[in-house]
Amino acid sequence: MLRVGIGYDVHALMEGRPLILGGIEIPHEKGLQGHSDADVLTHAIMDALLGALALGDLGKHFPDTDEQYRGISSIKLLELVMGLMAESGYKIGNIDCIIAAQRPKLAPHIPQMRENLARALKMDLGSVSVKATTTEHLGFEGREEGMSSQAVVLLVKNV
């Protein structure tokens, strides 16, 4: 049996925070605002996984009112979601993600993001796709007010 999930996340940019994407810190004058490390890429992946499993969303599992999640690494949260997936008897077939951000240029960091995510997801690197795009100065991403990310995941039932 196959299941497909889609995830979407948005965070505002602000000074005084590190920019974490795909579990790595990227040099930039602003980071993403959030209760956890605000890693929009990893959040979108988790939301896609939870959606494919019909288990709700990130807010249901990791509410921003719970202090145990303040500042937590999204990769650690991803590991918890992977546990839920394993309990459900599924594994990831492949994952495709995109980050929308005007700046900084993300292309040089994508190989490291892919490696980090593949390791956390316990997947072959060739099954993890990460892309980045600008919005040609349109919308909140184009005005550099924030970043967004989308992810699609295919789950396969363990046999």
Q: From the annotation, which residues make up the binding site?
A: 9-11, 35-36, 43, 57-59, 62-66, 133-136, 140, 143
Report the interhelical angle of 40-52 vs 74-87 (nearest 10°).
Answer: 10
Query: Token pair for residue 69?
Result: 């999640």
Cα–Cα separations (whole angstroms), residue 86 to 45, 49, 79, 128: 16, 11, 10, 18
Buried b (16+ CB within 10 A) or exposed e, 123-139: beeeebbbebeeeeeee
Binding residues for a divalent metal cation are: 9, 11, 43
Are the C-beta atoms of 128 and 118 separated by less than 8 Å?
yes
Q: Are strands 146-157 and 128-133 parallel, antiparallel or unpaired?
A: unpaired
